[in-house]
């Protein structure tokens, strides 16, 4: 039985704390002992805004959490990509190496579950229909699209519908959506049109940040859809 | 000066329900992809290698090309700044007062047309899209399809404003009208200016691609031909250039190759030819390890075609001749006066650009570096935003943990609306969600809309290169014949070689006489099937060492709503004679 850290992204803690519980349930169902790592942030909001020094200071704390845990599961594609691909680059030479080594202990939630030795033991079933939103970070930075789809596909009685323009961005982009709300809205409208076309009422993704953004946009359009993270889908599919 | 945000908001507002360029761009990305899949599997890698070599060896390649151009009696000039570039061109023009200009991004970048007009030189944009955009006056909205944002009705209106009396919106009629204006101008202009896609160091030849034939007319101007291009465009050899051009054509216009691929050798008798290499900040970009690779760009436009921000905001919103992701990267590096400093922020960092870029430019990562630089140099991030991030970093970077949610929320809500990023995440507009999710929603689905049927591409013959050539040339509207009876006005030529995968024929030396070719009613090319190669880069040994011209289908344009119109400057009809009849004729 492994002890794993569960990194609770700052925005998840605030906007949808239930998802942290969902993720914990799934990990425990796999037989892991879970240690929640709360109160930290990967630094991405500042980093994407050009505030590298601030991002480094905040991200450093996240990396420290990996000092004595071998595996830290992160239920957010974009935080995982920030930590693994960008955070080490904010440090100078010798520290960069340490940062790099620690950053690799962070694993995206879906890939962790999909590659877990006890995965087969999970009997997943959830009757209904969902549409799948592929996040840009998951798709292009982490390359986990197929992994997530396989995982979704392994849930009994669940029909997964695909968006026609699956590779297109939902328009969030962190501070981008606040700096350029008009452009962001055009992009999310496009995405929602595609979601609507699937007929599904529940939209699923490995990235909660996209989902929260789309949920806000859907509410503005008075569209009746719910957004579920992969953690929630898996947790609810447990026996 | 307006910002990207203001321009984009205006554009979106003005467009209303009209989806703008989105459907065209989606289709183009699909078509380009299909076209690229016909190229050899390593085409993009070859193109990337050629471009990387060019960028990493600029000094050496320039020394070499300078010598080779001199051997061909072609002038070599180097302009450090935009002003220098204009001054050099003016000097070269001498007493020339009427100039036919074809599409050149560098000319756009240095404001050449505008500057020459200020110097009382008459300049006509001879590319159909550029001509229209010039009349419109607001600049191009795409690097390869400048008039993309204008629909046919608007184009008619614009043309009629210049004295045309067009009573039709038909892209074919509109294109023909501009063609005639341009064709007439070419009979009386004093000089021609073109861009270049590559200048080849080992041979001193200049490679230029185009579809309409206006470049063919320009490069064969009887008196003076001036090429203006960036210093990064010198590549080692023809094979590298051909890989670049193949990838360029596939991405830019979903074509196997452009209608005309010119390799220019010596100037024509009586003609003067000069190349002006423009630096304008490129040396500084090359010196910065983080941005140097941006100079690999072949201006194919794929990054903007795929960019969701470009599609939503439109090209004009970028306020730069270079738009989309590559524009957001190089504009602030070329213009250090702050005019483009907000562009690196105009991206959701989705990475679609990096994924599609054929020469491997990590565009979205460069955008992140540019953002960091802008904040560091105080070119971005106002006082309020700086204070908010500092507060955020103090709180979350202190190492004290626990009660984080509350702490973050407190700062977040304070910062909402002040520091971008927090508002949407933790601001008032986003109540705690998820708690009310019910299983019922999983069962409340409606049926999915029927997917559009996808067209299956025609099967690829694998019965040898001649058959592949026939099939590919056929798709381009080329007539393949066993024999041809010559008719009045035909021009009969002998091909040096052909390229099967693209359906192209290669003409060299005398056969590449462009003005005679364009004047022909019909072009009939004899081809020896033994000289067919499979891919563009393999045709290098057949290009001779002087003038060469690769014809891929007939002269055409797609500058109006991406609708293809054949036969612009030059014949609609291209006949290739191959097979038995050809062999017999040669034997007799
Ligand atoms: S950056 Fe890449 S994709 Fe964009 S225009 Fe240049 S070569 Fe094409």
Domain extents for chain A?
3-114, 120-237
Q: Report the mean per-residue pLDDT for chain B.
A: 91
Q: Do A178 and B26 touch (CB under 8 A)?
A: no
Q: Do A169 and B345 touch (CB under 8 A)?
A: no
Q: What is the mean pLDDT of residues B110-120?
A: 98
pLDDT value of position B45: 95
Which band of pLDDT confidence, cut at 50, 70 and 90, is reported for residue B583?
A: very low
Query: Would you call B4 an interface residue with chain A, using a CB distance cutoff of 8 Å?
Result: yes
Candidate of B33, B230, B301 to mutate for ligand 1, largest count of ligand atoms within 8 Å of Cβ: B301
Interval B473-495: pLDDT, tens:
999 999 999 988 888 999 999 99
Ligand 1 centre from B246 Cα, in Å?
14
pLDDT value of position B290: 97
Give the separation between CA B159 and CA B176, rounded to whole angstroms: 12
Interval B163-179: pLDDT, tens:
999 999 999 999 999 99
Edge-first strand listing for the sheet containing A156-162: A156-162, A125-132, A202-205, A226-229
Which of the residue ranges A10-19, A60-69, A122-131, B451-460 would you say has the lowest mean pLDDT? Answer: B451-460
Instruction: Find out whether B396 and A40 touch, Cβ atoms under 8 Å.
Output: yes
Q: What is the mean pLDDT of residues A193-207?
A: 95
Per DSSP, which regions of B189-243 are E strands? Answer: 191-194, 198-200, 206-210, 224-230, 234-235
Q: What is the mean pLDDT of residues A138-150?
A: 94
Helix/strand/coil for B228: strand
Candidate of B248, B358, B366, B367 to mutate for ligand 1, largest count of ligand atoms within 8 Å of Cβ: B358
Interval A94-121: pLDDT, tens:
999 999 999 999 999 999 999 999 999 9
Mutation target among A9, A11, A12, A14 for the B interface, most CBs of B within 10 A: A14
Which band of pLDDT confidence, cut at 50, 70 and 90, is reported for residue B388?
A: confident
Per DSSP, which regions of A71-187 are E strands? Answer: 72-74, 106-108, 125-132, 156-162
Domain A120-237 architecture: 3-Layer(aba) Sandwich (3.40)
Give the separation between CA B107 and CA B215, rounded to whole angstroms: 15
Rounded to a whole number of angstroms, the distance from the CA of B69 to the nearest CA of chain A is 44
Which band of pLDDT confidence, cut at 50, 70 and 90, is reported for residue B463?
A: confident
Locate tokens 């990509």: which residue? Answer: A81
Q: Is the CB of B359 under 6 A from ligand 1?
A: yes
Same fold flag, B57-283 and B465-578: yes
Instruction: Find out whether A214 and B44 touch, Cβ atoms under 8 Å.
Output: no
pLDDT value of position B438: 83
Structure tokens at A213: 């953004």
pLDDT value of position A133: 97
Candidate of B293, B325, B357 to mutate for ligand 1, largest count of ligand atoms within 8 Å of Cβ: B357
What DSSP letter does each residue of B237-298 carry, written as one string?
-HHHHHHHHHHHHHHHHS-SS-SEEEEE-SPPTT-EEEEEEE-TTHHHHHH-TTTGGGGG--
A157: left (phi over 0), alpha (psi -120 to 50) or beta: left
Task: Find the helix packing angle between B128-136 and B152-161, rounded to 10°.
Answer: 70
User: In angstroms, what CA-CA distances link A211 with A96, A107, A119, B500?
Assistant: 32, 20, 25, 48
| Residue of A152, A64, A142, A71 whose CA lies nearest to A107 | A71
pLDDT value of position A68: 85
Q: Which residues neighbour B301 within 8 Å (Cβ) at sequence distance 6 or greater?
A: B142, B143, B144, B145, B251, B252, B324
Instruction: Find out whether B299 and B329 touch, Cβ atoms under 8 Å.
Output: no
Structure tokens at A169: 């961005």
Which band of pLDDT confidence, cut at 50, 70 and 90, is reported for residue B425?
A: very low
Per DSSP, which regions of chain A are E strands? Answer: 3-7, 33-37, 72-74, 106-108, 125-132, 156-162, 202-205, 226-229
Q: What is the DSSP letter of B305?
A: H
Instruction: Look at the alpha carbons of B179, B182, B187, B193 in this order and tell me if their dihedral is positive or negative.
Output: negative
Which band of pLDDT confidence, cut at 50, 70 and 90, is reported for residue B588?
A: very low
CB atoms within 10 A of CB B157: 15
- Measuring from atom 4 of ligand 1, which residue has the nearest CA? B303
Instruction: Look at the alpha carbons of B369, B370, B376, B382 in this order and tell me if their dihedral is positive or negative.
Output: negative
Give the separation between CA B534 and CA B544, rounded to whole angstroms: 18
What DSSP letter does each residue of A46-75 carry, written as one string?
HHHTT-HHHHHHHHHHHHHTTSS-S-EEES
How does strand B504-508 pair with strand B497-499? antiparallel
pLDDT above 60 for B231:
yes
Rounded to a whole number of angstroms, the distance from the CA of B14 to the nearest CA of chain A is 12
Q: What is the mean pLDDT of residues A53-67?
A: 93
Q: Is A153 exposed, middle or buried (0-12, 13-18, 19+ CB in 10 A)?
A: exposed
**Residues from chain B contacting residue A40 (CB–CB below 8 Å):** 396, 401, 404
Ligand 1 centre from B72 Cα, in Å?
31
CATH of B465-578, one of 3.30.70.260, 3.90.1150.10, 3.70.10.10, 3.40.50.10420: 3.40.50.10420
| Residue of B555, B462, B488 whose CA lies nearest to B517 | B555
Nearest-CA residue of chain B relative to A141?
Answer: B351
Structure tokens at B451: 């997917």
Task: Find the helix packing angle between B4-15 and A181-198, rounded to 10°.
Answer: 40
Q: Is the CB of B357 under 6 A from ligand 1?
A: yes
Cβ-nearest to B397 among A11, A57, A164: A57
Q: Which residues neighbour A161 within 8 Å (Cβ) at sequence distance 6 or greater?
A: A129, A130, A131, A132, A198, A199, A200, B445, B448
Q: What is the DSSP letter of A4?
A: E
Instruction: Find out whether A140 and B351 touch, Cβ atoms under 8 Å.
Output: yes
Q: Is B150 exposed, middle or buried (0-12, 13-18, 19+ CB in 10 A)?
A: buried
Helix/strand/coil for A25: helix
Question: What's the angle, vertex CA B232, arms to CA B226 and CA B236, rounded to 5?
Answer: 95
**Residues from chain B contacting residue A19 (CB–CB below 8 Å):** 434
Query: Would you call B374 an interface residue with chain A, using a CB distance cutoff of 8 Å?
Result: yes
Q: Do B397 and A167 touch (CB under 8 A)?
A: no
Nearest-CA residue of chain A relative to B377?
Answer: A50
Share of chain B above pLDDT 90, in %: 81
State the CATH class of domain B57-283. Answer: alpha beta
pLDDT value of position A126: 97
What residues pair up with B224 in beta bridges, in sequence order? B272
Q: pTM for the complete prediction?
A: 0.94
Q: Is the CB of B142 under 6 A from ligand 1?
A: no
Ligand 1 centre from B209 Cα, in Å?
16
Q: What is the DSSP letter of B232?
A: G
Domain extents for chain B?
1-37+301-379, 57-283, 383-427, 465-578
Instruction: Find out whether B346 and B374 touch, Cβ atoms under 8 Å.
Output: no
pLDDT above 60 for A228:
yes
pLDDT value of position B427: 41
Ligand 1 centre from B354 Cα, in Å?
9
pLDDT above 60 for B405:
no
Which band of pLDDT confidence, cut at 50, 70 and 90, is reported for residue A13?
A: confident
Give the separation between CA B47 and CA B244, rounded to whole angstroms: 4
pLDDT value of position B513: 95
Q: Do B309 and A168 touch (CB under 8 A)?
A: no
pLDDT value of position B178: 97
pLDDT above 90 for B359:
yes
Which band of pLDDT confidence, cut at 50, 70 and 90, is reported for residue B429?
A: very low
Give the separation between CA B549 and CA B533, rounded to whole angstroms: 16
Helix/strand/coil for B78: strand
Ligand 1 centre from B231 Cα, in Å?
17
**Residues from chain B contacting residue A144 (CB–CB below 8 Å):** none
Share of chain A above pLDDT 90, in %: 87
Ligand 1 centre from B576 Cα, in Å?
34
pLDDT value of position A232: 96
Rounded to a whole number of angstroms, the distance from the CA of B155 to the nearest CA of chain A is 26
pLDDT above 80 for B394:
yes
- Rounded-to-10 torsion of CA A53, B363, A107, A90: -20
**Residues from chain B contacting residue A172 (CB–CB below 8 Å):** 348
Q: What is the DSSP letter of A39?
A: S
Share of chain B above pLDDT 70, in %: 91
Instruction: Find out whether B363 and B326 touch, Cβ atoms under 8 Å.
Output: yes
The three-state (H, E, C) secondary structure of B312-323, written as one string: HHCHHHHCCCCC
Q: Is the CB of B326 under 6 A from ligand 1?
A: yes
Give the separation between CA B315 and CA B516, rounded to whole angstroms: 38
Give the separation between CA B189 and CA A68, rounded to whole angstroms: 76
Which band of pLDDT confidence, cut at 50, 70 and 90, is reported for residue B117?
A: very high
pLDDT value of position B460: 75
Ligand 1 centre from A51 Cα, in Å?
27
Query: Would you call B385 an interface residue with chain A, using a CB distance cutoff of 8 Å?
Result: yes
Helix/strand/coil for A106: strand
Rounded to a whole number of angstroms, the distance from the CA of B50 to the nearest CA of chain A is 25
What residues pair up with A3 in beta bridges, in sequence order? A33
Which of the residue ranges B21-30, B185-194, B436-445 would you say has the lowest mean pLDDT? Answer: B436-445
pLDDT value of position A1: 63
pLDDT above 60 for B428:
no
Helix/strand/coil for B467: helix
Give the separation between CA B354 and CA B365, rounded to whole angstroms: 8
């Amino acid at each position: 039985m492994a002890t794993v850290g569960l990194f609770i992204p700052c925005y998840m803690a605030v906007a949808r704390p239930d998802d942290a519980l969902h993720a914990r349930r799934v990990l425990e169902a796999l037989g892991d002992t879970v240690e929640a790592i709360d109160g930290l942030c990967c630094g991405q909001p500042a980093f994407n805004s050009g505030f590298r020094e601030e991002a480094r200071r905040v991200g450093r704390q996240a990396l420290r959490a990996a000092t004595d845990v071998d595996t830290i599961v992160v239920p957010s594609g974009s935080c995982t990509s920030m930590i693994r691909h960008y955070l080490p680059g904010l440090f100078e030479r010798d520290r960069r190496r340490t940062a790099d080594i620690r950053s690799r202990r962070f694993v995206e939630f879906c890939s962790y579950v999909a590659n877990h030795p006890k995965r087969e033991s999970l009997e997943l079933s959830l009757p209904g229909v969902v549409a799948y939103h592929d996040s840009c970070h998951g798709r292009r930075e982490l390359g986990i699209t197929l992994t997530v789809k396989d995982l979704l596909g392994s849930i009994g009685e669940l029909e997964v519908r695909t968006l026609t323009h699956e590779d297109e961005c939902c328009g969030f982009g962190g501070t981008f959506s606040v700096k350029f709300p008009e452009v962001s809205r055009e992009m999310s409208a496009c995405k929602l049109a595609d979601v609507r076309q699937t007929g599904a009422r529940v939209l699923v993704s490995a990235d909660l940040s996209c989902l929260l953004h789309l949920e806000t946009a859907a509410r503005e359009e008075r569209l009746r859809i719910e957004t579920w993270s992969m953690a929630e889908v898996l947790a609810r599919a447990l026996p | 000066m307006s910002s990207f945000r203001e321009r984009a908001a205006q554009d979106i507002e003005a467009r209303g329900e009209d989806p703008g360029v989105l459907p065209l761009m989606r289709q183009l990305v699909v078509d380009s992809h299909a076209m690229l899949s016909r190229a050899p599997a390593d085409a993009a890698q070859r193109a990337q290698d050629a471009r990387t070599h060019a960028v990493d060896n600029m000094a050496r390649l320039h020394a070499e090309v300078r010598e080779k151009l001199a051997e061909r009696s072609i002038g070599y000039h180097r302009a450090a700044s935009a002003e220098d570039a204009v001054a050099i061109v003016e000097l070269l023009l001498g007493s020339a007062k009427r100039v036919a200009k074809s599409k050149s991004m560098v000319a756009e970048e240095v404001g050449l047309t505008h500057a020459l007009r200020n110097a009382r030189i008459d300049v006509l944009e001879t590319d159909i899209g550029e001509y229209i955009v010039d009349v419109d006056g607001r600049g191009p909205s795409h690097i390869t399809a400048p008039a993309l944002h204008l629909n046919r009705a608007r184009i008619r209106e614009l043309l009629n404003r210049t004295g045309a009396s067009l009573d039709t919106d038909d892209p074919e009629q509109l294109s023909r009208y501009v063609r005639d204006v341009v064709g007439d101008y070419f009979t009386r202009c004093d000089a021609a200016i073109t861009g270049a896609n590559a200048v080849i160091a080992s041979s001193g030849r200049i490679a230029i691609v185009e579809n309409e034939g206006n470049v063919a007319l320009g490069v064969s101007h009887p008196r003076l031909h001036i090429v203006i291009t960036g210093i990064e465009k010198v590549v080692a050899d023809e094979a590298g250039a051909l890989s670049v051009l193949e990838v360029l054509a596939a991405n830019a216009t979903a074509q196997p190759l452009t209608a005309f691929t010119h390799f220019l050798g010596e100037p024509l008798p009586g003609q003067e030819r000069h190349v002006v290499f423009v630096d304008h900040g490129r040396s500084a970009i090359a010196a910065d390890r983080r941005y140097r690779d941006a100079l690999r760009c072949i201006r194919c436009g794929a990054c903007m075609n795929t960019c969701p921000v470009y599609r939503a905001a439109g090209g004009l919103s970028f306020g730069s001749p270079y738009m989309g992701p590559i524009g957001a990267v190089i504009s602030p590096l070329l213009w250090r006066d702050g005019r483009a400093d907000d562009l690196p922020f105009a991206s959701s960092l989705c990475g679609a650009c990096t994924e599609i870029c054929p020469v491997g430019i990590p565009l979205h990562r460069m955008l992140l570096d540019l953002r960091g630089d802008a904040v560091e140099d105080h070119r971005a991030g106002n006082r309020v935003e700086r204070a908010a991030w500092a507060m955020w970093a103090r709180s979350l970077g202190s190492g004290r943990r626990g009660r984080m949610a509350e702490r973050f929320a407190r700062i977040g809500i304070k910062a909402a609306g002040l520091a971008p990023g927090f508002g949407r995440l933790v601001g008032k507009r986003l109540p705690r969600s998820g708690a009310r999710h019910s299983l019922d929603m999983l069962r409340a689905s409606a049926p999915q809309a029927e997917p559009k049927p996808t067209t299956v591409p025609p099967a690829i013959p694998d019965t040898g290169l001649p058959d592949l050539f026939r099939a590919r040339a056929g798709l381009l509207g080329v007539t393949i014949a066993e024999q041809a009876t010559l008719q009045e006005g035909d021009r009969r030529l002998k091909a040096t070689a052909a390229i099967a995968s693209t359906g192209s024929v290669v003409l060299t030396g005398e056969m590449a006489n462009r003005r005679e070719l364009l004047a022909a009613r019909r072009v009939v090319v004899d081809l020896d099937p033994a000289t067919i190669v499979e891919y563009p880069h393999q045709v290098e040994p057949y290009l001779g060492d002087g003038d060469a011209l690769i014809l891929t289908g007939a002269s055409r344009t797609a500058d109006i709503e991406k609708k293809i119109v054949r036969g612009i400057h030059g014949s609609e009809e291209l006949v290739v004679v191959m097979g038995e009849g050809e062999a017999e004729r040669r034997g007799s």
